[in-house]
Chains A and B, each alone.
Chain A
Amino acid sequence: MNWINIKRVSKAGFISFWRNGMTSLSAVLVMFISLFIVTSLVLGSALSQSIIDMLKEKVDINVYFKTNVTEEDILALQEKISTLPEVKDVSYTSKEEALEGFKERHKDNSLILSSLDELKDNPLGAVLSIKAKEPSQYEGIAKFLEEDGVSISSDGSGIIDKVNFYQNKLVIDRLSKLIAATEKIGFSISLVFAIIAIIVTLNTMQLAIYTSREEISVMRLVGAGNWYIRGPFIVSGIMSGFLASLLVLIVFYPITIWVGSRTADFLAGINLFNYYTQNFFEIAIITMGVGILLGGISALLSVRRYLHI
């Protein structure tokens, strides 16, 4: 297929797209619906991923130390914990910082503050905050802390006062389950809808090309080669896909504004519209890519049926 043929085939494709007005329009509409679904799924899964990431960020477990434990012992333990593969981050809060934080949180409560002042010693212990890479890994980390010899000071006594994993366990478990379910269900739904979109588009294309089968047989009889016949149909299909994806990208503007303004509170600060505009480039590439492939491939598959002999 040389340059002149590509030029002729594209031109013929454009012209027939234009002249087959209603047929082309219905192909664009069907693909619009398919692409709308695909883009919603992409947007939805990206959004739920960022919500999950945000929630993960909020979960951690705290290790509270006995007040008499030395800083060296704690830092040694921090050292050990941070070498665990599941651990993303361990941060140390000293006794003094813990006290500052406590006073800060209760600065309006004079009763608490005054009773604190009466105490000579700092009643608060130091704290290590541990973030795991996945919520499901906290259990393992909590177990690790209970192991013999892990949290023991140089003189052989236990140093940990308490680990708040067990208070947080319920939340952490639920979050782990939610993440696993979201990923599984999201994937299945996307797969089902993508298949439906392909089938519907293929059928519409087939119907459109069915009306041209007479034309195809004439083209064959005047000795046109297969690619010469297929080409214009594929170009038309690609055009339908391209136009449909443009429409989808445009329509998502008002939709994301509307949905975004309604769900921003609930989604804890993630605004759908901002998300859409910030990731517009990637979303546009995915939508157009899927549209062009869907249009081109379904036209190719449909026209092949009428090209035998």
Chain B
Amino acid sequence: MIYIENLTKKYSDKTLALDDVSLGVERGEFVTIVGHSGAGKTTILKMITAEEIPSQGKVFFESTNVHDLRRGEIPKYRRKIGVVFQDNRLIPNKTAYENIAFAMEAAGRSDHEIVADVPEILKLVGLDNKLWNFPHELSGGERQRVSIARAVINQPELIIADEPTGNLDPINTFDVIGLFKKINEMGTTVILTTHNKGVVDLIGNRVVTVEKGKIIRDDKEGKYVL
């Protein structure tokens, strides 16, 4: 599904963030990317979402070369991907409901679908009583669940999660990882980054280890070795 070929990324200040990285992710997989801070995990994800342009190499989504997309085609491409961040990146002056509704509106879904689906997805992540709360009125774990709900609402083919548990306590971490596993079991491909050994063990799937911009391990069965 995602094919990264010989990807090198030098940021404008000459930092070599990725150094000739190749990685393939198949449909339905749950891939965890681990590595020290600054290893290049976020940079890999930004390449997939077309937020950054590679210095060398290519990224394919199925048969589409992501960085050959014209500007006008990028929004449509991004709707195939749901994204979750460590700091959740909810829109601060929109309520939980509106944050999710916005993603649906952006994807051109009807008002009817929005009214039906938003409460349902919020119920699924256990927030059916917080529909009209603003992000600053929610706890970190609750915010993260809203952002997961937003990521999955349009039934994307791929979920990208950059340290989704980075700010959460163990119990919330457990819940959130449980949500990702459920999403993956329903058939959505998930790519997730973390530095938390507990999270890796919890997921127990393929683990890709990155160090200094290179992939140094690719284990089929969850192992955290650093």
Interface residue ranges, A against B (CB under 8 Å)? 4, 8, 12, 16, 19-20, 214-215, 217-226, 228, 309
Q: Which residues of chain B from 144 to 173 have a CB within 8 Å of any chain A CB? A: 150, 154
B92 contacts across to A, CB distance below 8 A: 215
Task: Say whether chain A's binding surface is mostly helix, strand, loop, or mixed.
Answer: helix
B103 contacts across to A, CB distance below 8 A: 222-224
Number of interface residues, chain B, beta carbon within 8 A: 27
Partner pick for A223 among B71, B93, B106, B110, CB 8 A cutoff: B106
Partner pick for B50 among A8, A20, A224, A309, CB 8 A cutoff: A309
- Contact A224:B89 (CB < 8 A) given known A4-B111, A219-B106: no
A221/B106 in contact, CB under 8 A: no
Partner pick for B75 among A20, A214, A218, A226, CB 8 A cutoff: A226
A223/B75 in contact, CB under 8 A: yes
- Contact A220:B75 (CB < 8 A) given known A8-B105, A225-B106, A228-B105: yes
Nearest-neighbour CB distance to chain A for B92, whole angstroms, equals: 7
**B130 at interface, CB cutoff 8 A:** no
Interface residue ranges, B against A (CB under 8 Å)? 49-51, 71-72, 74-79, 81, 83, 89-93, 102-103, 105-107, 110-111, 150, 154
Question: Closest residue of chain B to A227, judged by CB?
Answer: B75
Question: Closest residue of chain B to A216, judged by CB?
Answer: B91
B49/A221 in contact, CB under 8 A: yes
Nearest-neighbour CB distance to chain A for B26, whole angstroms, equals: 23
Partner pick for B83 among A4, A12, A222, CB 8 A cutoff: A222
A224/B49 in contact, CB under 8 A: no
B89/A223 in contact, CB under 8 A: no
- Contact A224:B93 (CB < 8 A) given known A4-B111, A309-B74: no
Top 9 closest pairs, chain A to chain B, by CB? A223-B79, A224-B106, A223-B78, A222-B103, A225-B75, A19-B93, A218-B89, A223-B75, A215-B91
A309/B78 in contact, CB under 8 A: no
A228/B93 in contact, CB under 8 A: no
B107/A223 in contact, CB under 8 A: yes
B77 contacts across to A, CB distance below 8 A: 223
